[in-house]
Amino acid sequence: EKTKSWKKLVNVSVSGAAGMISNHLLFKLASGEVFGQDQPIALKLLGSERSLQALEGVAMELEDSLYPLLREVSIGIDPYVIFEDADWALLIGAKPRGPGVERAALLDINGQIFAEQGKALNAVASRNVKVIVVGNPCNTNALICLKNAPNLPAKNFHALTRLDENRAKCQLALKAGVFYDKISNMTIWGNHSTTQVPDFLNAKINGRPVKEVIKDTKWLEEDFTITVQKRGGVLIQKWGRSSAASTAVSIVDAMRSLVTPTPEGDWFSTGVYTTGNPYGIAEDIVFSMPCRSKGRW
């Protein structure tokens, strides 16, 4: 501690903390993948009565991993306790969909969770808390959450569409026969649902427009779009449960994009609250679009 100057502890609250996504995510957070090797963190884990025992197990595993950056692990089922002073709230806990179900069908059950959690964040979280909504349907849930948190900045609420961005980049890279890191400027427009538009017109491969590199227009207009839109559903058919590891990776990517200045000329996709008709999009909804960050948080 004498040779290294540590930053102030960052509080990260995670709901659905006993679930599969969190099981991948928490260990990444604790190892410094998001905030770097000089940033100690506290993990505050929210579960349900049903998952409390499992949550105790998760906490045990985190503690036994002896992460130098992980200074506190707390668990509980009351969002008013677990969200206290949260600098980040990663809202994962929700009923997932099964095979053949659309995400919108979950709204009845999950909407209530996000209303309650919005109220709790409004009451006890850091006034500058960044909220990433993962539970589906995530755009609508993010809107419900921010509407229930009127004292927090609406611009701090995000619906996770980074998973779709990553999926789109993967498909373009495979088709073009290049490595993933050569794909940039990948926008996901709209909802994290089958209505989303993965934008191959503005995306680039090695700095060139996609259409100059991939000449197969039919593939771009039909196969590419549908593959990205339906990727989550196809995965559920194969796995019998929804994506977990790749979702966790995309949450890390989304957080890193917010805490690091966006490279010149590039952008990332995230669902944000719309004001002032950005790109002609309706106001007062949560919509995924290209965003840049100055990296201050």
Active site residues: 192
As a whole number of angstroms, the distance between CA 25 and CA 130 comes to: 17
Joined tokens for residue 126: 């850091």
Determine, following the binding rule CB under 6 A, whether residue 187 of this chain makes contact with ligand LMR: no
Determine, following the binding rule CB under 6 A, whether residue 196 of this chain makes contact with ligand LMR: no
Residues that contact ligand LMR, how many (by CB under 6 A): 12
Pick from 193, 232, 243: nearest CA to 24: 243
Residue span 25-54 as binding mask against ligand LMR, x where in contact by CB under 6 A, dash where not = ------------------------------
Joined tokens for residue 19: 């679930």
CA 80 to chain CA centroid, nearest Å: 22
Determine, following the binding rule CB under 6 A, whether residue 103 of this chain makes contact with ligand LMR: yes
Stretch that binds ligand LMR, among 119-127, 172-180, 236-244, 252-260 (CB under 6 A): 236-244
For residue 91, the minimal CB distance to ligand LMR (Å) is 13
Stretch that binds ligand LMR, among 12-20, 210-218, 234-242, 264-272 (CB under 6 A): 234-242
- Dihedral sign for Cα 162, 166, 169, 171, please: negative
Q: In whole angstroms, how far apart are CA 268 and each of 17, 146, 206, 282?
A: 26, 21, 16, 20
Closest residue to ligand LMR: CB criterion: 232
Within 8 A by CB and 6+ apart from 287, the residues are 139, 189, 190, 191, 271, 272, 274, 281
Question: Which of 10, 92, 163, 213 contacts ligand LMR by CB under 6 A?
Answer: 163
For residue 99, the minimal CB distance to ligand LMR (Å) is 10
Determine, following the binding rule CB under 6 A, whether residue 97 of this chain makes contact with ligand LMR: yes
Joined tokens for residue 201: 């017109």
Q: In whole angstroms, how far apart are CA 275 and each of 73, 154, 272, 280?
A: 37, 10, 9, 10
Amino acid identity, residue 210?
V
Beta bridge partners of 269: 290
Stretch that binds ligand LMR, among 39-47, 111-119, 142-150, 229-237 (CB under 6 A): 229-237
Residue 15 vs 136, nearer CB to ligand LMR: 136
Stretch that binds ligand LMR, among 10-18, 83-91, 96-104, 203-211 (CB under 6 A): 96-104
For residue 102, the minimal CB distance to ligand LMR (Å) is 9
Determine, following the binding rule CB under 6 A, whether residue 232 of this chain makes contact with ligand LMR: yes
As a whole number of angstroms, the distance between CA 250 and CA 138 comes to: 14
Binding residues for ligand LMR (CB under 6 A): 96-97, 103, 136, 163, 192, 232-233, 235-236, 242-243
